Structure 1
Amino acid sequence: MGGGRKRRRGGSEAPAIHPRNRYATPAPDFAALASLYPSFAPFVSVSRGGRASIDFTDFAATRELTRVLLLHDHGVSWWIPNGQLCPTVPNRSNYIHWIEDLLKSDLIPPLSSSNKTRGFDIGAGANCIYPLLGASLLGWSFVGSDVTDVALEWARKNVENNPQLVDLIEIRNANKMSCSSESEAVVGEADRENTLEPVDGVAWSKPETLNFCMCNPPFFERIQEAGLNPKTSCGGTAEEMVCPGGEQAFISRIIEDSASLKNSLRWFTSMIGRKANLKLLVSKIREAGASVVKTTEFVQGQTARWGLAWSFIAPRKMVVRSSTPGRANHSFMLHGLRREYGAFQVLKSAETFFHASNLSCKIDSSLFSIDVTLSDDQAQAAMFLDESDSVEGVSTKLHSAVTGSSFRISVFEQMPGTLLVKGSLLNKALSDTPLLVIKA
């Protein structure tokens, strides 16, 4: 369960456990925990070399380890009945710390001046692990939703057994949220808060926004797929592990729902169990009109998961003067693009960004150009190109504009995989105005 980096084939380094994760270094000491917690001792074996370990294929051992880690390191009392999904604390902590990074980032501006962080956990489960970790580690408040009686009962028990967290975590039945799917509970939550309608008999005193939502979705399409890993036994009911279409369909529904919220949530996030699904889901998020997409990899021991985050809020802009003032025309090349990233797709991505930034723009498909007009009070616009990433996230690369009333961006295909992007001022009177470079 230890941290540290591992070498991939070819010598490159795999991502390590999150550096702020309590279990990054050192790894949990099973022998020490066994001496402190007698109930854990029967599950610990010591090799001839003195290395203590547990049998991760034993659900009871995995559950007791989770209970002990939450109590010892987080002061959280916790339990789940047999068969319910048993989370690993280090892996789930990675997700919490990644969201913390997103919220602290200057990339997306805060939705309000409040210093309080409020999140929504889609499918909290009986274990209620994310609200418990987020509240105990960072003092965040949570709404956790679920759909089964057992999950709701035990999630509430796990909250009530921790008086220090009771005021920070609320568990709600997604079936009573007037939503057609559990993922739509996020939409219902924000809509109710914005309209001050009562929820479960309690009315909100003022409009409130959510900083983020998170989800550990059902990874599998069939229950038979859930037990394919012979090295672990994490339990899990069919409701927790399986849904029609698997995680791809479940997260796609969240993406569809997120388009209805737009600026009501700062970040939408989900864990992903299969890397093969990442590319398709990122494409769906782009199509939904998100302004920013972020991905990461969660590594803990032999287990790898991926994180996906997106936002519809216009990125915060940092303005830096160009070293070449006075130019009315600028250009750059995009190299190494995949076939699906043609000139028109790049223009549509740019249009999405400008609309998200509340700029007026119009595409001319015949000329492969887009004209952008700034209002009088929009003093800043510019060109953004992240050359460190030539392919992924093209829609966040092409953020081009200049100070003035209007400008044009044209995209030309030079050869397969290579595009020439040109930006020019349409107001000639502004030709002496320095170009501004905006980096999100």
Structure 2
Amino acid sequence: MYNNLETHCNAFPLPLHFQTIHTLQKKKPHPKVKSELHPRSRHRERYNFEELIKSSPDLAPFVAPNKYGDESINFFNPDAVKALNTALLKHHYRLEYWDIPQHYLCPPIPGRADYIHNIADLLKEHQSEIPTGQHIKGLDIGVGANCIYPIIGNHEYGWSFIGSDTDEKAISSAQSIVTKNPNLKSHIEIRRQEQANAFFKGVLNPDERVDFTICNPPFHASLEDAKKASLKKLKNLKGQPDVKPVLNFGGQQNELWTKGGEARFVKDMIYESKHFSKQCLWFTSLISKETTLKPTYKILQKVNATFVKTIEMGQGHKISRFIAWTFLTEQEQKDWVKERW
């Protein structure tokens, strides 16, 4: 049985490093609230740089008035983007420490938060209120050096997390973030995935259950594809024929591209999830390209997923979404909630 879940929100606006460029091209009145973002998002209002700098003074050198007199940062400067992310996490999510190694993915916080809030809405469908507390557990496949999803999910809903990754340096960074923030230590466990092509095997124990999984797949098929995509966006936004591609948010090979792109990645994840069908209520993954949806639905039908939902999230001029699937029957879902929640 295949269902579509109605969109909860139009998620997060144009990626931060492109948002400023778009504004510079044409001055528009600034709305007080970013209505595209999830209603529970902490990022619906414009950045209050004065407050952010109080939370993280290291942001101050990067803040300056733009040509319209609005305080902003240079979103083409990876150091400025990292400083902004650090300030946002310290200010809104009460972190004491956050850092990532050079050239690792520095994700836009509003979009990551919207994924978490929409997961909460997905879980809420099983009862009258959003389930909160550390007994609700998620698995972040590819937690990365930044550990963003567990940070937001734990702060907003008190959930506990397993964060897995194949990259040793990313694991070390994520573990350092957890260790240096007392509020995270007892709620987030970082585990190394030793098998490069596995998702759940070797991470989930045979008797272990999680209420949901989340994943931000590498959606490019190669480094060249990643550079071309970045170059195309920059040309369109800057209106210049020759610009150097910049991956402003960084990213290692396993974070940005994989053989076969996101379609192959998600296909492999779905096939493996079948073997863990009774250990998870909802498997989910971000889907960047709309063209990936049709073949993904066919695979989910082939493995006999009982329910499939697609949750759309707007990101400025681009629509993003994540797909959710379960192998549990309606009665098994009710039993799951009764036993665990």
Give the share of equivalent positions with the same residue, in percent.
35
| Aligned twin of 2:255 | 240
The whole-number CA distance in structure 2 between the counterparts of 1:293 and 1:187 is: 22
Cα distance, 1:274–1:163 mapped onto 2, change above 3 Å: same
| Aligned twin of 1:225 | 225
1:238 maps to a residue whose letter is Q
| Aligned twin of 1:129 | 148
223-232 or 88-97, larger mean C-alpha shift: 223-232
Cα drift, residue 262 of structure 1: 1.8
| Aligned twin of 1:83 | 103
The whole-number CA distance in structure 1 between the counterparts of 2:13 and 2:92 is: 23
1:225 maps to a residue whose letter is D
| Aligned twin of 2:82 | 63
Cα distance, 1:221–1:293 mapped onto 2, change above 3 Å: same
The whole-number CA distance in structure 2 between the counterparts of 1:60 and 1:101 is: 34
Cα drift, residue 137 of structure 1: 1.6
| Aligned twin of 1:17 | 37
**Secondary structure in structure 1 of the residue aligned to 2:146:** coil
1:260 and 2:279 are equivalent in the alignment:
no
Q: Is the 8 A contact 1:212 1:265 kept in 2?
A: yes
Q: Is the 8 A contact 1:298 1:304 kept in 2?
A: yes
**Secondary structure in structure 2 of the residue aligned to 1:295:** strand
| Aligned twin of 2:27 | none
The whole-number CA distance in structure 2 between the counterparts of 1:281 and 1:272 is: 10
From 92, 98, 118, the equivalent of 1:98 is 118
The whole-number CA distance in structure 2 between the counterparts of 1:309 and 1:45 is: 42
The whole-number CA distance in structure 2 between the counterparts of 1:3 and 1:30 is: 22
**Secondary structure in structure 1 of the residue aligned to 2:58:** coil
Number of corresponding residues: 286
The whole-number CA distance in structure 2 between the counterparts of 1:219 and 1:165 is: 29
Cα drift, residue 261 of structure 1: 1.7
Higher strand share goes to which structure? 1
The whole-number CA distance in structure 2 between the counterparts of 1:89 and 1:181 is: 27
The whole-number CA distance in structure 1 between the counterparts of 2:248 and 2:266 is: 24
| Aligned twin of 1:315 | 330
Cα distance, 1:151–1:305 mapped onto 2, change above 3 Å: same
The whole-number CA distance in structure 2 between the counterparts of 1:43 and 1:5 is: 22
The whole-number CA distance in structure 2 between the counterparts of 1:246 and 1:50 is: 41
Cα-Cα RMSD: 2.9
| Aligned twin of 2:240 | none
Instruction: Within 5 Å, give how 1:398-437 maps onto structure 2.
Output: none
From 181, 202, 207, the equivalent of 2:197 is 181
**Secondary structure in structure 2 of the residue aligned to 1:40:** helix
From 272, 286, 289, the equivalent of 1:271 is 286
**Secondary structure in structure 2 of the residue aligned to 1:126:** coil
**Secondary structure in structure 1 of the residue aligned to 2:264:** helix
The whole-number CA distance in structure 2 between the counterparts of 1:50 and 1:257 is: 52
The whole-number CA distance in structure 2 between the counterparts of 1:188 and 1:81 is: 26
The whole-number CA distance in structure 1 between the counterparts of 2:12 and 2:140 is: 29
76-85 or 31-40, larger mean C-alpha shift: 31-40
The whole-number CA distance in structure 2 between the counterparts of 1:298 and 1:117 is: 23
**Secondary structure in structure 2 of the residue aligned to 1:164:** helix
**Secondary structure in structure 1 of the residue aligned to 2:181:** coil
**Secondary structure in structure 2 of the residue aligned to 1:213:** strand
Q: Is the 8 A contact 1:21 1:97 kept in 2?
A: yes
Instruction: Within 5 Å, give how 1:24-423 maps onto structure 2.
Output: 24=44, 26-34=45-53, 37-76=56-95, 77-106=97-126, 116-175=135-194, 179=195, 181-183=197-199, 186-190=200-204, 192-194=205-207, 208-227=208-227, 228-229=229-230, 230=234, 233-301=248-316, 304-315=319-330
The whole-number CA distance in structure 2 between the counterparts of 1:154 and 1:215 is: 18
Larger-gyration structure (1/2): 1
The whole-number CA distance in structure 2 between the counterparts of 1:122 and 1:5 is: 24
Q: Is the 8 A contact 1:159 1:165 kept in 2?
A: yes
The whole-number CA distance in structure 1 between the counterparts of 2:137 and 2:318 is: 28
The whole-number CA distance in structure 2 between the counterparts of 1:73 and 1:301 is: 22
The whole-number CA distance in structure 1 between the counterparts of 2:11 and 2:252 is: 29
The whole-number CA distance in structure 2 between the counterparts of 1:193 and 1:168 is: 20
Cα drift, residue 27 of structure 1: 2.5
The whole-number CA distance in structure 2 between the counterparts of 1:38 and 1:129 is: 21
Cα drift, residue 224 of structure 1: 1.8
Cα distance, 1:165–1:37 mapped onto 2, change above 3 Å: closer
The whole-number CA distance in structure 1 between the counterparts of 2:118 and 2:258 is: 26
Higher helix share goes to which structure? 2
What does the per-residue CA deviation read over 1:110-130, in whole Å, with 9 as the maximum and x for residues that have no partner? xxxx98101111111111111
Cα distance, 1:189–1:222 mapped onto 2, change above 3 Å: closer
The whole-number CA distance in structure 2 between the counterparts of 1:72 and 1:161 is: 16
The whole-number CA distance in structure 2 between the counterparts of 1:152 and 1:52 is: 35
What does the per-residue CA deviation read over 1:366-395, in whole Å, with 9 as the maximum and x for residues that have no partner? xxxxxxxxxxxxxxxxxxxxxxxxxxxxxx
**Larger RCO, structures 1/2 (Cα 8 Å, 6+ apart):** 2
The whole-number CA distance in structure 1 between the counterparts of 2:140 and 2:220 is: 19
Cα drift, residue 79 of structure 1: 0.7
1:215 maps to a residue whose letter is C
